[in-house]
A = this chain, B = another copy of it.
């Protein structure tokens, strides 16, 4: 069998070994499911819709810095297991992705140059079960939010169950939960809403967590439904914890296992829905708005994960910077006010929704309106109030779990737009939010960019998502964006704020800020990593965790 010479070999692997390894891999997955990455040209396409992904379309370092030697697409869970065993045999690092649409955080690219990217989602993409009584689904890695939604539509289940979706519908349900991503309905905390996993361990063994560790009570095929094999017990997707240590968490944002199945709780159709937009006119109104939101969210008057979006995030979805202004540098207050006025939006725009029968919605809306009315110049909108193309029309779908693909338009704010997310956690406190906003805004503007961002409101914290948009064909702009995020991480750490998730290029730095008591957390994570994966084959460097056999100092950024 012949294989091309890759752009980047796996570390400590010579050409002949690499080819022998791929020959063995081909015996498992078929030659047609192996693609060697041979040149930069293959990495050029940044489209969200191409499959399979082999790289990071929003590369912040050199395009071929985080690059796979090859992409392998196994067709089944046993093939994933065999692949892991081969990786151990040949000491070749592998980097699993579900779909690879980890947009703004590294896409499908591996942390360690030359790793084998294992694209699980190309073939392993069944919806194994949608259970109406228990209100859950069981999915494989390749099932996207759009797929799951489509399934509900096709099976006439939308009147019974809703899914939760993030801003874009093309990502993996399982993969997003593994990265602890969020959506915007009451089921917005995807990790919290998962229940039961199947994982391939670094030694190739298959494990089921929680109640899935119970043996099958009946043989496969004796129960109707699409699961080839019945779940290990009757409550695998109903009760997350099982017996003894609750292990699921250590598989999230980690390199300890490859998830191959996941239960995800679905929201029962709430019996009514109304999305809304509340605009506040002044930059400084963020403070008041957040203090209004906190008690409402804690009391679940705000039932979902709402968002407070900066004017430029909405503006950028609706048009490029050039469509609004000829200014080249960061826009000032007057220009922001002018854009807000033009779009009939505020400097901050709060997107939420009401769930439940009409009397419930009316009661909640009354409380919310009254509370926000304390802000001078506040305006309230329902989608039907707005005739023009607007973000609320998109959010109206998102907040009821209907996937959309419009939101990423904001990367076209500037020509050849690409993006990088900076995602610190903030208190739901006006003072804290204002401080975090102004600290980050200052640095963004210093680096010559416009501040574009949003706060997504969890129960007791906010994910502050700062969208760093850069021209990916401008090497200097990329350097400045990279430099900016490094400064932001340091600034926020000095204030006691940490990030919840990050791009490949920043994993080491952020892991380094979680260093209380002489880095005990990292040493703890490394101990577990080395015990479960002594050869360090699984996703070395993921979230800053390097196995012993990859010297941190060599690879650290």
A residues with CB within 8 A of B? 133-136, 180, 191-192, 195, 201, 205-209, 211-218, 232-235, 237-239, 241-254, 256, 265, 268, 270-271, 294-295, 298-299, 359-360, 363, 425-429, 432, 458-461, 493-502, 510-511, 513-517, 520-521, 524-525, 527-528, 530-532, 543-545
A427 to chain B, nearest CB (A): 6
- By beta carbon, the residue of chain B nearest A494 is B217
Instruction: Please measure, in the bound complex, the distance between the C-alpha atom of A209 and the C-alpha atom of B256, giving whole angstroms.
Output: 18
Q: Beyond the given A211-B425, A243-B253, could you list 14 further A-B residue pairs with CB under 8 A, ordered by the A residue number?
A: A134-B460, A135-B298, A205-B517, A207-B517, A208-B516, A217-B495, A218-B496, A232-B496, A232-B516, A238-B461, A246-B250, A247-B250, A268-B298, A527-B532
A424 to chain B, nearest CB (A): 9
Instruction: Please measure, in the bound complex, the distance between the C-alpha atom of A270 and the C-alpha atom of B517, giving whole angstroms.
Output: 39
Chain B residues positioned under 8 Å from A521 (CB to CB): 207-209, 213, 244, 247
Chain B residues positioned under 8 Å from A501 (CB to CB): 243
Chain B residues positioned under 8 Å from A195 (CB to CB): 460
Q: Which of B133, B427, B520 contacts A294 (CB 8 A)?
A: B133
Instruction: Please measure, in the bound complex, the distance between the C-alpha atom of A513 and the C-alpha atom of B212, giving whole angstroms.
Output: 11
A191 to chain B, nearest CB (A): 7
- By beta carbon, the residue of chain B nearest A136 is B460
Chain B residues positioned under 8 Å from A270 (CB to CB): 299
In the complex the two chains form, is B532's CB within 8 Å of A235's CB?
Answer: no
In the complex the two chains form, is A214's CB within 8 Å of B496's CB?
Answer: yes
Q: Which of B136, B299, B496, B500 contacts A217 (CB 8 A)?
A: B496
- By beta carbon, the residue of chain B nearest A543 is B244
Known contacts A135-B460, A246-B180, A514-B244: A238-B425 contact under CB 8 Å: yes
In the complex the two chains form, is A207's CB within 8 Å of B243's CB?
Answer: no
Task: Please name 5 pairs of A and B residues whose Cβ atoms are closer than 8 Å in the assembled complex, sorted by A.
Answer: A180-B241, A207-B517, A242-B498, A246-B250, A528-B532
In the complex the two chains form, is A531's CB within 8 Å of B527's CB?
Answer: yes
Chain B residues positioned under 8 Å from A232 (CB to CB): 496, 516
In the complex the two chains form, is B460's CB within 8 Å of A238's CB?
Answer: yes
Known contacts A207-B517, A299-B268, A461-B238: A256-B245 contact under CB 8 Å: yes
Give the 3 A-B CB pairs with smallest separation, nearest first.
Answer: A217-B496, A531-B531, A246-B249
Instruction: Please measure, in the bound complex, the distance between the C-alpha atom of A496 and the C-alpha atom of B233, giving whole angstroms.
Output: 5
A190 to chain B, nearest CB (A): 11
In the complex the two chains form, is B520's CB within 8 Å of A191's CB?
Answer: no
A285 to chain B, nearest CB (A): 20
Instruction: Please measure, in the bound complex, the distance between the C-alpha atom of A303 and the C-alpha atom of B248, giving whole angstroms.
Output: 26
Q: Which of B248, B496, B520, B545 contacts A249 (CB 8 A)?
A: B248
Known contacts A214-B493, A247-B250, A252-B246: A427-B234 contact under CB 8 Å: yes
A395 to chain B, nearest CB (A): 23
Known contacts A249-B245, A517-B207: A239-B461 contact under CB 8 Å: yes
